[in-house]
């Protein structure tokens, strides 16, 4: 009996432990993230997982108490979820902006600051470590810290930034785990507190995107490889055909200008390989405005469309922000205060990127322990900053970055350096300057006239922008605003000698000498990332990859007739004219030998010949051109492709000039062959290859219609996660076209404002107001945008009178 009893007890314990093990095991398995697979228990649970996010804002938005408010803030959301916000004071307004932005876009606004700060490894693991190191070694976090400290010294701005921060945090603290945005659940992490540093980081994110490019090291390598004469021939500072932002008629002769002298002595010449990621070369924009004489109604009209990567959630969040003192409407950046591109009752403004060479590289000579670097004939101390990069489920990575007076030594033996222990490359970048750019936007939001606009711009350092302006007073203007180093001729085009004090930045262009134009005789202002000025501008400017197509199409459009209205503006936003093709195709056809072409080839040729050079959706000619032209370009630059050091091709317009004017240039030769080729050979060979490719595509049943070939998509911010992205968007255009929509890049916000009283305005962007992939407002604007339509942006809408789609009241805490 006793034996049996003992045996049965043993069995019970055994069973108990098996059940315990199974339960713990399944808990662990369902609570943990394995590779890309989210923790399935958490993720699929209906009260904690994604099912909670399968909801649209109609059912979600409710009245809340927002601690710190002075008085009630009323919000009326329209049918596309654009919030019309009515607050009593600025402080209440920005607190509400923080709360509402977080309510709409929490995951995105935090993720972008992680990206800026080089903290993605914390969230996605070691696959992002290289990216994070790049961000830190660019000085992103360091500079954001400096900017935050500087910005918070401005008491008024500090008050607003703190209110915004508190607003975001009030929203975060109100969330249960089940209410976290779905991306947190996918990656299995939680939102952390918002801080003023994150606002500074978001602004750095934009600076990096828009002013983070340069070609210094590539240009130096090219000079090494091909000699200065050939380089200068391939990379002229200006083209004859430029139509600069500031009209050529502008006379600068009244300015007293001092430009530093070109120093004696040589540039460093060691070839550099291995580079950090660069911003997308198409990051750019269009803006323009016509004055009263050129406007059908007699009111100035202004338009803006910034071209950025097409992402979901969109980079922009549209808001109408009103207090008794100001009434502002437009596109905001989640994470930053106020409206960035928009209008109020008196003025409207828009931005395009004003590319200039504001990032320079200095070769640094260290001593043995990197505690000093050689400068001005003496050893000067470096500053060591150890960056802590947390890595999900792995050990924290510590990166030692040495700083010189130029800036951080981004490249050294521990990171993409190739000069051994004692050599590094330091970056001097305008993005590193502590700044109060946030004040510019706060002031612009309330500006009432040209003088207010100019005063607002004076705080602004980077990323340099072409700020287009128009007012109900009838002014139109454009300031190219940023803080620009005053360089000696040639300074910073190639990398510089970090030990030579004459290679240092010698000062800045005075604010009042930043190129600008007000009410020009031609009656309109415009910018499209082209040359800011022509050679007459007294400060040093060189071709930094400026636009040569959109700018000319836009300016030709405004020269084509006397007066314009809003419909003309809409048509120009959606203009698909491919000027590059219109200039290149005649050269191609001139050189093409049609004797003995096959029927298929003749058929392909007809498609190009009959094309009107508009990249409209259904045309096949645009596709043929897009296949043909890169083949010609690549054949020309086979010599450059073969170079060992990191280099780049000449800019597109120069390539066109080469084909047009120098068909026998030595670069036309294909090195591999015995024969000495000319442009004629390259164009013909490329055409035959194109025909072959077309035949192949057709045999696969692929459509050659431009829209299908291009297949534009808007990708989710998280590595374009297909589940949350939109594909095959029906829209024409391409990079270099006014409708700059390429595969995954294009007009990220389109706005048109007529300065009537009150202003009449239209806007749209390829996304939706909600950041929740489960919301019907997540991507509801994409189709409107693709069609070339707009939403009406009504500045006179009041909380009490208009029918609100959804209402929300934020009340002070009782």
Partner 1 sequence: MKKTSLNFALTLLLGLFLSFFLPWWSGMLAALIVGAIVRLRKAAAFVVPFSAIALLWLVNAYWLSSANDFILAEKITVLLQIENNLFLLFLVTGLIGGLSAGFAGLLGNQINQLFFTKTE
Return the residue of 1, 2, 7, 16 that touches partner 1, per CB under 8 A: 16
Q: Are 457 and 386 contacting, i.e. CB atoms less than 8 angstroms apart?
A: no
Q: Which CB sits closer to partner 1, 13 or 398?
A: 13
Whole-number minimum distance, CB 6 to partner 1, in Å? 11
Alpha helices in 422-565 (DSSP H): 437-446, 450-457, 550-559
Q: Does 23 bind partner 1 (CB under 8 A)?
A: yes
Q: Which CB sits closer to partner 1, 83 or 773?
A: 773
- Per CB under 8 A, contacts with partner 1 among 31-50 are 31, 40-42, 44-50
Rg, the chain, Cα only: 29
Return the residue of 224, 438, 529, 775 that touches partner 1, per CB under 8 A: 775
Q: Does 279 bind partner 1 (CB under 8 A)?
A: no
DSSP-derived 3-state class of residue 83:
strand
Whole-number minimum distance, CB 157 to partner 1, in Å? 38
Whole-number minimum distance, CB 59 to partner 1, in Å? 7
Whole-number minimum distance, CB 783 to partner 1, in Å? 15
Q: Are 70 and 137 contacting, i.e. CB atoms less than 8 angstroms apart?
A: no
Q: Does 776 bind partner 1 (CB under 8 A)?
A: yes
Contact pattern for partner 1 over residues 556 through 595, marking x by CB under 8 A: ----------------------------------------
- Per CB under 8 A, contacts with partner 1 among 695-734 are 721-724
- Per CB under 8 A, contacts with partner 1 among 143-202 are 177, 182, 186
Q: Which CB sits closer to partner 1, 54 or 63?
A: 54
Cα–Cα distance, 148 to 780 (Å, whole number): 35
Whole-number minimum distance, CB 727 to partner 1, in Å? 11
Cα–Cα distance, 132 to 117 (Å, whole number): 8
Nearest to 530 by CA among 242, 207, 237: 242
Cα–Cα distance, 408 to 410 (Å, whole number): 6
Residue entry with tokens 């009656």: 523
Q: Which CB sits closer to partner 1, 292 or 715?
A: 715
- Per CB under 8 A, contacts with partner 1 among 109-148 are none
Whole-number minimum distance, CB 703 to partner 1, in Å? 23
Whole-number minimum distance, CB 51 to partner 1, in Å? 5
Q: Does 8 bind partner 1 (CB under 8 A)?
A: yes
Q: Does 56 bind partner 1 (CB under 8 A)?
A: yes
- Give the total residue count for the chain: 814
Burial 647-669 (b: 16+ CB within 10 A, else e): bbbbbbbbbbbbbeeebeeebbb
Whole-number minimum distance, CB 623 to partner 1, in Å? 28
Q: What is the 3-state secondary structure (H, E, C) of 116-158?
A: HHCCHHHHHCHHHHHHHHHHHHCCHHHHHHHHHHHHCCCHHHH
- Per CB under 8 A, contacts with partner 1 among 496-535 are none
Helices (H) and strands (E) in the chain, counts: 23, 29
Which residues, other chains included, contact 540 with Cβ-Cβ below 8 Å and sequence gap of 6+? 259, 486, 487, 488, 489, 490, 491
- Interface stretch with partner 1, choices 2-10, 118-126, 369-377, 495-503 (CB under 8 A): 2-10
Whole-number minimum distance, CB 31 to partner 1, in Å? 7
- Interface stretch with partner 1, choices 341-349, 380-388, 756-764, 769-777 (CB under 8 A): 769-777
To the nearest 10 degrees (0 to 180), the angle between helices 90-117 and 155-173 is 80
Whole-number minimum distance, CB 8 to partner 1, in Å? 7
Whole-number minimum distance, CB 1 to partner 1, in Å? 11
Whole-number minimum distance, CB 214 to partner 1, in Å? 38
Q: Does 20 bind partner 1 (CB under 8 A)?
A: yes
Residue entry with tokens 């109060």: 436
Return the residue of 59, 266, 386, 393 that touches partner 1, per CB under 8 A: 59
Residue entry with tokens 């070109």: 262
Burial 265-275 (b: 16+ CB within 10 A, else e): eebbeeebeee
585: left (phi > 0), else alpha (psi -120 to 50), else beta?
alpha
Q: Does 53 bind partner 1 (CB under 8 A)?
A: yes
Q: Does 1 bind partner 1 (CB under 8 A)?
A: no
Which residues, other chains included, contact 316 with Cβ-Cβ below 8 Å and sequence gap of 6+? 331, 332, 333, 340, 748, 749, 765, 767
H/E segment holding residue 517: strand 516-518
Whole-number minimum distance, CB 437 to partner 1, in Å? 37
- Interface stretch with partner 1, choices 338-346, 372-380, 493-501, 772-780 (CB under 8 A): 772-780
Q: Which CB sits closer to partner 1, 19 or 262?
A: 19
Q: Does 52 bind partner 1 (CB under 8 A)?
A: yes
Return the residue of 12, 590, 609, 702 that touches partner 1, per CB under 8 A: 12
Long-range contact set of residues 254-258: C-beta below 8 Å, sequence gap at least 24: 255/513, 255/538, 257/513, 257/538, 257/539, 258/486
Whole-number minimum distance, CB 123 to partner 1, in Å? 17
Whole-number minimum distance, CB 722 to partner 1, in Å? 6
Contact pattern for partner 1 over residues 442 through 461, marking x by CB under 8 A: --------------------
Q: Does 26 bind partner 1 (CB under 8 A)?
A: yes
Return the residue of 1, 2, 3, 5 that touches partner 1, per CB under 8 A: 5
Whole-number minimum distance, CB 186 to partner 1, in Å? 8
Cα–Cα distance, 189 to 745 (Å, whole number): 29
Strands 301-309 and 750-754: antiparallel
- Interface stretch with partner 1, choices 27-35, 423-431, 706-714, 742-750 (CB under 8 A): 27-35
Return the residue of 1, 3, 13, 266 that touches partner 1, per CB under 8 A: 13
Residues in binding contact with partner 1, number by CB under 8 A: 46
Longest Cα–Cα distance of the chain, Å, equals 115
Burial 216-237 (b: 16+ CB within 10 A, else e): bbbbbbbbbbbeeeebebbbee
DSSP-derived 3-state class of residue 211:
helix
Whole-number minimum distance, CB 705 to partner 1, in Å? 26
Q: Does 15 bind partner 1 (CB under 8 A)?
A: yes
Which residues, other chains included, contact 446 with Cβ-Cβ below 8 Å and sequence gap of 6+? 325, 326, 328, 344, 452
Whole-number minimum distance, CB 170 to partner 1, in Å? 22
φ, ψ for residue 388, nearest 5 deg = -95, 115
- Interface stretch with partner 1, choices 5-13, 229-237, 510-518, 550-558 (CB under 8 A): 5-13
Q: Which CB sits closer to partner 1, 181 or 424?
A: 181
DSSP-derived 3-state class of residue 746:
strand
Q: What is the 3-state secondary structure (H, E, C) of 661-689?
A: HCCCCHHHCCCCCCCCCCHHHHHHHHHHH
- Interface stretch with partner 1, choices 18-26, 447-455, 579-587, 591-599 (CB under 8 A): 18-26
Cα–Cα distance, 551 to 737 (Å, whole number): 9
- Interface stretch with partner 1, choices 82-90, 445-453, 749-757, 768-776 (CB under 8 A): 768-776
Q: Which CB sits closer to partner 1, 26 or 241?
A: 26
Contacting positions for partner 1 (CB under 8 A): 5, 8-9, 12-13, 15-16, 19-20, 22-23, 25-27, 30-31, 40-42, 44-56, 59, 177, 182, 186, 721-724, 772-776, 778
């Amino acid at each position: 009996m006793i034996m049996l009893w003992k045996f049965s007890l043993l069995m019970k314990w055994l069973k108990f432990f098996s059940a315990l093990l199974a339960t713990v095991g399944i808990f662990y398995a369902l609570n943990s993230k394995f590779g890309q697979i989210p923790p399935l228990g958490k993720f699929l649970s209906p009260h904690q997982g994604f099912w909670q996010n399968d909801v649209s804002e109609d059912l979600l938005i409710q009245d809340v108490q927002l601690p710190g408010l002075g008085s009630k803030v009323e919000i009326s959301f329209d049918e596309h979820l654009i919030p019309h916000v009515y607050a009593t004071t600025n402080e209440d307004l920005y607190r509400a902006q923080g709360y509402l932005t977080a309510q709409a876009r929490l995951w995105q606004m935090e993720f972008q600051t992680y990206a800026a700060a080089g903290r993605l490894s914390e969230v996605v693991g070691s696959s992002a470590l290289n990216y994070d190191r790049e961000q830190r070694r660019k000085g992103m976090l360091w500079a954001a810290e400096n900017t935050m400290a500087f910005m918070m010294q401005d008491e008024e701005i500090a008050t607003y930034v703190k209110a915004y921060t508190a607003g975001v945090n009030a929203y975060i603290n109100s969330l249960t785990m089940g209410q976290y945005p779905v991306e947190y659940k996918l990656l299995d992490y939680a939102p952390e507190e918002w801080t003023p540093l994150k606002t500074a980081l978001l602004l750095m994110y934009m600076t990096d995107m828009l002013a983070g490019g340069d070609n210094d090291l590539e240009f130096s390598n090219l000079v090494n490889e091909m000699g200065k004469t050939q380089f200068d021939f391939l990379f002229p500072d200006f083209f004859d055909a430029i139509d600069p932002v500031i009209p050529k008629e502008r006379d600068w002769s009244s300015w007293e200008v001092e430009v530093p002298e070109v120093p004696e002595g040589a540039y460093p010449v060691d070839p550099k390989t291995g580079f950090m990621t660069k911003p997308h070369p198409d990051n750019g924009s269009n803006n323009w405005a016509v004055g009263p004489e050129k406007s059908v109604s007699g009111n100035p009209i202004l338009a803006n469309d910034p071209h950025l990567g097409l992402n979901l959630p969109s980079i922009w969040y549209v808001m109408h922000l009103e207090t008794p003192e100001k009434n502002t409407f437009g596109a905001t950046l989640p994470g930053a205060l106020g409206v960035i591109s928009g209008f109020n009752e008196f003025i409207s403004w828009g931005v395009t990127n004003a590319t200039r060479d504001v990032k320079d590289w200095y070769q640094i000579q260290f001593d043995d322990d990197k505690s000093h670097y050689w400068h001005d004939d003496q050893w000067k101390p470096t500053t060591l900053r150890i960056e802590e990069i947390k890595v999900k489920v792995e050990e924290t990575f510590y990166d030692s970055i040495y700083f010189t007076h130029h800036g951080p030594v981004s490249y050294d033996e521990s990171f993409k350096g190739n000069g051994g222990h004692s050599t590094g490359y330091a970056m001097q970048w305008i993005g590193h300057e502590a700044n109060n750019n946030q004040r510019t936007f706060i002031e612009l939001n309330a500006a009432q006239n040209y003088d207010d606009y100019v005063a607002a711009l004076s705080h602004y350092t980077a990323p340099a922008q072409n700020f287009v302006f128009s007012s109900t007073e009838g002014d139109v203007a454009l300031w190219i605003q940023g803080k620009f180093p005053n360089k000696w001729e040639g300074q910073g085009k190639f990398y510089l000698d970090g030990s030579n004090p004459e290679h240092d930045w010698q000062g800045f262009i005075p604010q009042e000498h930043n190129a600008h134009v007000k009410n020009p005789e031609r009656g309109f202002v415009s910018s499209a990332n082209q040359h800011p000025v022509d050679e007459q501008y007294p400060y040093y400017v060189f071709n930094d990859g400026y636009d040569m197509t959109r700018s000319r199409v836009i300016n030709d459009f405004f020269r084509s007739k006397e007066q314009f209205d809003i419909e003309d503006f809409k048509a120009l936003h959606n203009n698909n004219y491919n000027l590059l093709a219109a200039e290149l195709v005649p050269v191609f056809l001139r050189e093409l030998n049609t004797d003995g072409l096959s029927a298929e080839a003749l058929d392909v040729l007809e498609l190009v010949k009959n094309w009107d050079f508009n990249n409209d959706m259904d045309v096949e000619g645009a596709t043929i051109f897009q296949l043909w032209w890169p083949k010609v370009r690549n054949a020309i630059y086979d010599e450059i492709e073969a170079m060992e050091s990191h280099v780049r091709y000449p800019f597109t317009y120069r390539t066109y000039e080469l084909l047009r004017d120098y068909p026998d240039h030595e670069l036309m030769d294909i090195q591999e062959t015995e024969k000495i080729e000319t442009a004629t050979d390259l164009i013909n060979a490329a055409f035959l290859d194109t025909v072959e490719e077309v035949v192949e595509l057709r045999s696969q049943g692929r459509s050659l219609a431009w829209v299908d070939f291009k297949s534009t998509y808007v990708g989710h911010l998280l590595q374009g996660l297909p589940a949350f992205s939109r594909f095959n968007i029906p829209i024409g255009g391409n990079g270099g076209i006014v409708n700059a929509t390429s595969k995954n890049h294009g007009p990220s916000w389109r706005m048109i404002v007529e300065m009537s009283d009150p202003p009449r305005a239209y806007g749209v962007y390829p996304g939706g107001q909600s950041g929740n992939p489960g919301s019907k407002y997540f991507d509801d604007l994409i189709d409107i945008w693709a069609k070339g339509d707009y939403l009406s942006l009504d500045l006179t809408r009041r909380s009490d009178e208009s029918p609100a789609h959804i209402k929300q009241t934020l009340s002070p805490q009782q």
